Every structure is written in C-alpha cells, then in structure tokens.
Structure 1
Amino acid sequence: MIVMTRRNWALRLSIVLNICVLLYVCAHFGSWQEEGTNWDTGGVAAPLVQNVFGSESIQINSSAKTAQEARATRVMGIERYEKKNIDTSTAGSEGGIKGVDATKILGKDDTIEGQVNDPLSPSSLNLKDIVACTDKSQEPRKMQRGDYWVLYNYVPMTISVKCWETLTYTTHADYTFLDNVEPLLERWRAPVSIAMHAPGYDFQTTVDSIKYLRNCGSELVSQLVTFHVYFSSKHVPNVVPPSKEVVNDSYNCTLGPPWANPQNKKMYKVEKNLLYPVNVGRNIARETAVTHYLLASDIELYPSPELPSKFLEMIRRRDQPALLTPNPKVFVLSIFEVDEKSLPPKNKTALQKMLKSGSAIPFHKKVCSACHNIPKSKEWQDAPETDGLHIFHAGKRTGTFVHWEPIFIGTNSDPSYDERLSWEGKSDKMTQGYELCVLDYDFLILDNAFLVHRPGIKSHKKDQKRDMITAKTNHFIKKIIVPELKVMFGKRTGCAV
C-alpha cells in the first residue's frame, strides 16, 4: 500500500513538472523569435525598416535584399523606402521621380533600422492618417479667374509627391524677382509654387526667364518649382505657346538671365501703368499647392534650412498641448533682415549672434515695426536654440498686435487674400488678418524656425505716387471691404483691419 501511494505521488509530481516545462517553453517562444530565431524558415529574422513618420514599415529579408534594393532616400524632408531600384529614366508615380536622375537630389543611400514603439505613444502616430488629405493633379490647364486668364501648372515640377509628405512654399512674382528662386530653393529644398504676373510682352520675357532657370541654373528648379502664369484679359500676350513646348524647349545659356538684360528693363506693366495684383498671385500659388501644408510667403523671404522635415515631424509627434486645442491654427515664422554684406543665417544660434552684432534686425523695423511685431519676440530672440521644432507661444492678433501681418504655415482651409487689393496700395494682407482674428485662430509661433529677407536692410522711402494709391486703398478697405467682412464673418472684440 505504501509503494502504491509513493508511485501515485511520483506520477503526480511528474505531471506537474511536465506542465511547468510546457508553460516555460510557451512563455519564451515569442522572445526567442524576437531575438533572431526564424521558426518558419530557419533563417535570421528580417530587420524592420521604419518610415520616419511612422506611416509604413517594410519587412526585408536580409538574405535576399541588398542595401540598394531597400534604400532609404531623402528628398524635401521626406524619408522614402523603395523595395526596388529607382528607375531614373522614366516617369515616376506614387511619389516617385519623373524623368530626372534621382541620385542627384535624393542624397546618399541610407537605411534606418527602426524600433517597434508603443502604438499609443505620439512617436508611433501615422502622419499620412493625421493629415488625411487628397492628392492634386499637376496637369496644365487654362482658366478664367474674374478679369484674369490663368495658366495653371504652366510649367510643372518634375517630382511627384504625396500631399502629406512635405510642404509647399507658395509665392508670387514678376520676372524681375526670379533671381531669388535659387537661393530660396537651396534653403527650402521642397516644392515651390510660383504665380507669375505676365501681361502683354512681359509674357515672353517671363517664359524666357523660366527656361533660363530650368536649363541654365540649379537642377532643383525643374525638379521642385511649378510656375503658373496670369494676366488681365485686357492685356493678353500676342502668343501663348502650349505648356509642353515651354517645358521641352531649350535656352541659350550664354545670353544670361533675361531679367538682367537691359532690353527687358522697360516692362509692359510699367509702360501701361498697371498695378501689381499681388493677392491674385498669392491665391493662385496657394490653391495649386500639391501638399496639404503650405507656407504662403514672399519670394524674397528665405526660410531656415530643414524647415519642412522638422515641421512635419512636429505635426506627427502631436506631443504639445497647443496642437490639440479645438481652435483653428496657423504656424507663425519670425522674420528678420540682414545687411547687404551678410549671408542669411542657417540656424537660430547664428541669427542670435547677428542680432547682437547689429548685422540683423527684426523685419521692417525701420519701415513698419507694428506690422511684424510678433508676440513674445524679445523672449523668442533670447531663448536658446533646441533640437527639432516646437511651439514657442500661442498668440492672438489683438491688443498691441491688432495690425500684425504674420506669415505662417497653414492650409487652403485658411481665409484667402482679397484680390481687389494691390501691392502698391499696401495693407494687402490686413483683411485676411481680420478674418483670422474673427474666426478665433491661434497663432502658434515656432521656436527654431524663421524667415530672412534677401540681404539688404530696408528703410522708409518717400513715394508720393504710391502714397496716393495707399490712401485710396485704405479708404476702400474702410468703406467697402470691412463692412463686407463684418457681414460675412461677423465681429469679435479686439479684431480690426
């Protein structure tokens, strides 16, 4: 009887031990896989290459894929991971390269070995889903816009991007300002949308200037810049060649830039005494931006480098309370001028040194300091530079800043510019500022990003002719536009034009 009892206990103990062993194996099965054992193929577990924005992860079998086949290419602040070699000779799709040598602009091949993050952590959020935008066509088209003919996407950029991948710098110009394109691109390195005012015979000089930039200048121009052209129906050019003809035509580079040719100094616009329809250009360039986020700026304002990538990384993180408030919001850039002997600073630390030495000053300090008096500007200038991009302060366009004309990163959901206002009449952005104020926008000032005007500090100059136009414009705004805005958008205490 004693022997049987001992056998029963031994059997029970054996069963318990077997169960413990099984539980131990099951508990460690997953961890053994993560440590490198491939239970399906007997090979090494595939490394994880993770998109910098967290939008996609690609599993790559290390025994079959080469570094080039699983390349991480960098362009315009975008990290792209291609499973196949990039064909640089044919038109691309899905964010690929069309007809250009990708290696010239994408940077050296690189792969990033990401880590699997907590799915609830801000660093794991998907930028593509956060932005949730729709891609736009870059096909050329001709349309009327009020009194203007517009050649949308007349000369499109050759790179195709998704609407969530980067930012577009939107601006306006006539051909005399096109010498700013290359220095702007060197710092921005992302899509640029430019609306060119080209009435009468200014049209041909504008087309020649575009050809010069694309054929004789930096290859970034053809890759990243889309040119739109517009002119009044009362000042239509004699000939408007098809878009394809302009895109494919070459240019004799020995002739130099058309805007520097003395023969082109006498503009049609000047001869006919035309006003510059600045806000028509602003709206055209903005509406045709291929990305959700855009920086509506003036072509002589150069952004701090790496702004697109840093901005989108901030949006992806969504780890700052100011980004999560229900109010509509725009992202404001501080603006500065530097003297003509200086180069625009490449980062905030360099800018701070120039401010202390006097070689840099706040924008329009000697022309209209109130127009660009940014909230907490002194604190911003004193705050040390940090890594990445963050919200420095959330301001409003009221009180001391009631006449503030901020330049900001926003979207096409933001109020547009009143196209009845001209550059000569000044105050061309004031009405938009009023709309933003009434709609209770938050003006989120970025901490390490800024704009710098092309070298040369502006000073106030007396211009009797322009002063007359300004007086008429102010009267028009007060008597016609402001009453309209109050009907359309309502009123809010503290808001004014």
Structure 2
Amino acid sequence: MERAKVSNTAPLKMYSNRKSFIIKLLVVACVIYSCIHMLTNTAVPVIREMQESGRNLAALGSGLDQEQVTDQDVKYVVPIVEPTKVQPSEKPTEKVLATVTVTPKPPPTVLDTVRELTKCVDKPLVPKTQQRGDYWVLYNYITAEKTFKCHESVTYTTHADFSFMDNLVPLLERWQGPISIALHAPGSDFPDTLDSIAYLRDCTSPLVKDFVTFHVYFSTKHVPKEVPKHGSVFTEPYNCSLSPPFVNVSSENMYKAQKKLLYPVNVGRNVARETAQTHFILPSDIELYPSPNIIEKFLAMIAENTGPLLSKNPKVFPLHLFEVSANQIVPETKTVLKEMLANGTALPFHKKLCPGCHSVPKAKEWQNANETEGVHVFHVGKRNGKFIHWEPIFIGTHADPLYDERLSWEGKSDKMTQGYALCVLNYDFLILDNAFLIHKPGIKVYKKDPRRSMLAAKTNQLIKKIIFPELKVLYGIRKGCAV
C-alpha cells in the first residue's frame, strides 16, 4: 500500500492568514485613531466659539453677563448658560449665571382708575356755528388754551350775559379747572360781550385764557350786525386802560332789556354742558363759588369706588348751597362756614326767598358734622317726600337729562322738569360732605315783581298742560315724583 503524500504548504497558508488579519487590525486602529484625533481638535474650537458667543451676547446687556429684554412695562432678565471647558472623555456641565426676574407695573393712578371706571370718550373743542331751535349758537367760539381728556378733570358749566362776567375770576380762583360758559348776546349786547371776554383774557388772571371756553348764542330775530369768524375774533390785545363793559353796567340799558327779551337760561345751560370735554360736569350758576380743591378730591373719591358708588342706580352728587352777608369774605373751608352759620353771617341758600327749593336731606346733620380730609358721600337722598320740589346743583355726567329750553329765568321753575326726570329715573343723590357752593356775597330777600309773577304763572301753566304730559310719556311715572 502506497503512503499518502504530506503537503508542506499548509503551515505557510496559516501564517499568511494571521499576518493579513493583523495588518487589517493595524489599519483599522490607525483609522480610528485618526478620526478621534480630528474630532478632538475640532471640538475644542467649537466649544470655545460657543463660550465666546455666550459672553458676547451677555455683553450686549448690562455688562453683568445678562441679556435684558423689555416688553412694554415688564422687564425680563434672560439667563445665559455658559458651558465649562470639556475634555474629550467628559460630559459638559452648565453654570447658571442669572435667574429670571420680573419688574411689576406700577399701580394705576387716580386718573387711570377714573378712566377705567367711566369708560369715557375724549372730545375735541371744535368751533362751529349751528342753529338750535330759535337760536344761533357759536359753539367753542373762543377756546381755552388748556385742553383735557375726559377723565382728567371736572368741568364747571355755566351761563350768563356780559353784565355778570365780573364773577368769572373769583370763580376761577377757587375752581382752578376747566369752565364752559355760554353767553347770551343778542343785538348790540354782542360787541359788549366780546369786549368783556377780551378784557378778562388780556387784563385779568391768566387762568381765564388757560381754562375758560366761551360760547355765544342769540335769537334768530336778534342777530348782531357783525359776527367775526372763529379764529379771528381778537385781532389785537385789549386796551387794559379802558374799563370793561361789565363794570357798573345798568341792566335797563342792555339790548335785552330794551327789547323786553326773556333770558333763555336753559339754552345756555345745555350749550355749556354739551360742549364740556370732561365726563364729569358741574352745571351751576356763575355767581356760585365752589369750595377749593373739589376737582382733585372728587376724582379721588370716584377712584375709590366704594359704598354708595357701587349702587346700580344712576347717580349725581349734590353740593350744599349757602349765602353770606354782603360784607363777608367767602369761606374756603367747612370749618369756617360752620362758624359763620353759627353767628348768622351765613345762611342756607334762598332761605328767605324759596326755602323749599334748596332744602337738602340731612341738612342739619351735615352742618353739625366736622370737616374731614377729602370728599365723601355724606348721605344718599331722593327727590321725594319732603324734598319733592328740591332743585339740587350737582356734579353729574353727560348722561343726565338736559333742561327744558322752553323755560326762562323770569318764569322761574326752570330746573323743576329736570328734577322730575331724575326722580322717575330713580337717581340716587349722593350728597357730598366737605364740598359746597357759596353765592356771591349778599343775602337775597323777596322783592315783589308783578311782571315776574305774571310770567311765573304762565310758566306753571306751560309745565302743567304741555311739558308735564310730555314727561310722563317720555320718562313714565313713579310714586312720589312731581314737578
């Protein structure tokens, strides 16, 4: 039997395979090492760039490695996270350099709160000439230099002819706020009215130019001979060496008296009211001087919005009225007023003329109460019962009923119809505690006037037969309400 042949090539093949495997391992190792080396060299600049970028962003802020972002009134401090230097085998860590903080908005001011509560709308002082029933009206004929947004003040609205304009400066000195005044100026009373306005603006207190807006109206049957256009009324300053027309004027010599015209008091009241820029208004007479600082104190009370102010009923804010003797100084505080009431130099308004017209609920309690800081609601009254013919003067708004323009000053009862509407609409009368009005010094007493008595009788018939039936249709009826 022949012996099998043994091959010498087997060991060589095994050696060759092992050598090839080792070489391949070495190649792979070289590749892995190269990759790791490249990644390591690349990562460090990237991380450094991240660090530098973070620092640069932070430097744009306050210099304290923070970035500040302002959104309206709220300031946010945004945190900047800085990574530490990273070794290839280590995980990055974070270092918080700042936390988020919020600066709260400041609390709302009194005026901000008044605006929010009233939801009022601003109105510009736009001059215009329009017909109003039997009258031509020059609205905003001469405007005040200062204007107001609807929530910024309270406007004193009033009426007069030029013979009463000596009251404007003392009224302004106490009110220190916007005044809207409608002046009746028919025929030849018109140029005297313009001269009176010019004198007050150029020769008296700067408060006149600052705060007073003048409107002028006259009957369509008594149009002046010449009426300057808006904006060109006064072409040169008034000669202050001349006496103003309203000084020592005799009412009998006025055009109105010569033509035996009635004074259309409610036309003036409504014109002055409707043109007021502010939400709150005080419709009053030019001879009634207010206690100082009413505006600021009243708006502060409105902003508090507590107690009776939360009532859902419509509301107005009556002021107590008083008269003082002719030789007395008008009191500025309730404390002084109380002293004058005690010694008889001050009296409730029209006590000797028409005491029922201005009898105020809780009047004795009000007079006995001591003066306090600010202005508050002293008592909530109604126009019924004992006070069924009450004619209050109050701070109200543009939403309140207007005055009937068919009524005249000479015929009396010119505010009674508005009083009835307020009663039927269930108004609350929020009587103020430390605010009051004082008539120009001089106690009024009853004087027999046959012509005025005749006109008053005619007015009563007009109200009874025509106006009152209209009011019942328009406003309805309520038990205890009367004209």
TM-score (normalised: structure 1): 0.75
- Name the residue aligned to 1:449: 435
- Tell me if structure 2 keeps the 8 A contact 1:338–1:359: yes
Paired amino acid for 1:274: L
CA deviation profile, 1:125-159 (whole Å, cap 9, x unmatched): 72221122111121211000011000000000000
1:190 aligns with 2:177: yes
CA 1:173–1:57: 2 relative to 1, 3 Å: farther
- Report % sequence identity: 60
Which residues of 2 match residues 312-327 of structure 1 at below 5 A?
312-319=299-306, 321-327=307-313
CA deviation profile, 1:225-253 (whole Å, cap 9, x unmatched): 00000001000000001122224531111
- Tell me if structure 1 keeps the 8 A contact 2:74–2:105: no
- Tell me if structure 1 keeps the 8 A contact 2:291–2:333: yes
User: Pick from 203, 214, 220: which aligns with 2:207?
Assistant: 220
- Name the residue aligned to 1:144: 131
Paired amino acid for 2:278: T
Count residues with an aligned counterpart. Answer: 388
Task: Find the residue that maps to 1:367 and give its secondary structure.
Answer: coil
Q: Could you list the runs of 5+ residues in structure 2 that have no partner in the other structure?
A: 1-60, 65-71, 76-103
Shift of 1:259: 1.3
User: Pick from 366, 371, 374: which aligns with 1:388?
Assistant: 374
1:283 aligns with 2:300: no
Task: Find the residue that maps to 1:246 and give its secondary structure.
Answer: coil
User: Pick from 212, 219, 228: which aligns with 1:241?
Assistant: 228
1:459 aligns with 2:477: no
Task: Find the residue that maps to 2:210 and give its secondary structure.
Answer: helix
Paired amino acid for 2:163: T
State how far apart, in whole Å, the 1-side matches of 2:460 and 2:164 are: 27
Q: Could you list the runs of 5+ residues in structure 1 that have no partner in the other structure?
A: 1-38, 43-55, 60-113
State how far apart, in whole Å, the 1-side matches of 2:234 and 2:211 are: 14
Which residues of 2 match residues 115-126 of structure 1 at below 5 A?
126=113
State how far apart, in whole Å, the 2-side matches of 1:178 and 1:124 are: 32
- Name the residue aligned to 1:255: 242
- Tell me if structure 2 keeps the 8 A contact 1:203–1:237: yes
Shift of 1:256: 1.3
Task: Find the residue that maps to 2:157 and give its secondary structure.
Answer: strand
Paired amino acid for 1:323: L
- Tell me if structure 1 keeps the 8 A contact 2:73–2:105: no
State how far apart, in whole Å, the 2-side matches of 1:424 and 1:58 are: 61
- Tell me if structure 2 keeps the 8 A contact 1:155–1:247: no
- Name the residue aligned to 2:163: 176
1:372 aligns with 2:358: yes
State how far apart, in whole Å, the 2-side matches of 1:57 and 1:362 are: 51
- Name the residue aligned to 2:152: 165
State how far apart, in whole Å, the 2-side matches of 1:41 and 1:178 are: 64
State how far apart, in whole Å, the 2-side matches of 1:415 and 1:343 are: 35
Paired amino acid for 1:148: Y
The structure having more radius of gyration, on CA atoms, is 2
CA deviation profile, 1:454-476 (whole Å, cap 9, x unmatched): 00010011001100000110111
- Tell me if structure 2 keeps the 8 A contact 1:296–1:408: yes
Paired amino acid for 1:473: T
Task: Find the residue that maps to 1:259 and give its secondary structure.
Answer: coil
Task: Find the residue that maps to 1:492 and give its secondary structure.
Answer: coil
Shift of 1:401: 0.0
Q: Which moved more, 1:194-203 or 1:238-247?
A: 238-247
State how far apart, in whole Å, the 2-side matches of 1:264 and 1:210 are: 18
State how far apart, in whole Å, the 1-side matches of 2:389 and 2:236 are: 46
State how far apart, in whole Å, the 2-side matches of 1:206 and 1:116 are: 48
- Tell me if structure 2 keeps the 8 A contact 1:211–1:246: no
1:357 aligns with 2:352: no
CA 1:248–1:192: 2 relative to 1, 3 Å: farther
State how far apart, in whole Å, the 1-side matches of 2:261 and 2:252 are: 15
Which residues of 2 match residues 88-127 of structure 1 at below 5 A?
126-127=113-114
State how far apart, in whole Å, the 2-side matches of 1:388 and 1:115 are: 27
1:495 aligns with 2:481: yes
Task: Find the residue that maps to 2:434 and give its secondary structure.
Answer: strand
- Name the residue aligned to 2:294: 307
State how far apart, in whole Å, the 1-side matches of 2:271 and 2:236 are: 25
- Name the residue aligned to 1:334: 320
CA 1:249–1:383: 2 relative to 1, 3 Å: same
Task: Find the residue that maps to 1:243 and give its secondary structure.
Answer: coil
CA deviation profile, 1:362-395 (whole Å, cap 9, x unmatched): 0000000000000000000000111111000000
- Name the residue aligned to 1:427: 413
User: Pick from 192, 209, 213: which aligns with 2:196?
Assistant: 209
State how far apart, in whole Å, the 2-side matches of 1:264 and 1:311 are: 37
Paired amino acid for 1:368: C
Shift of 1:317: 1.1
Superposed CA RMSD in Å reads 2.1
State how far apart, in whole Å, the 1-side matches of 2:63 and 2:173 are: 48
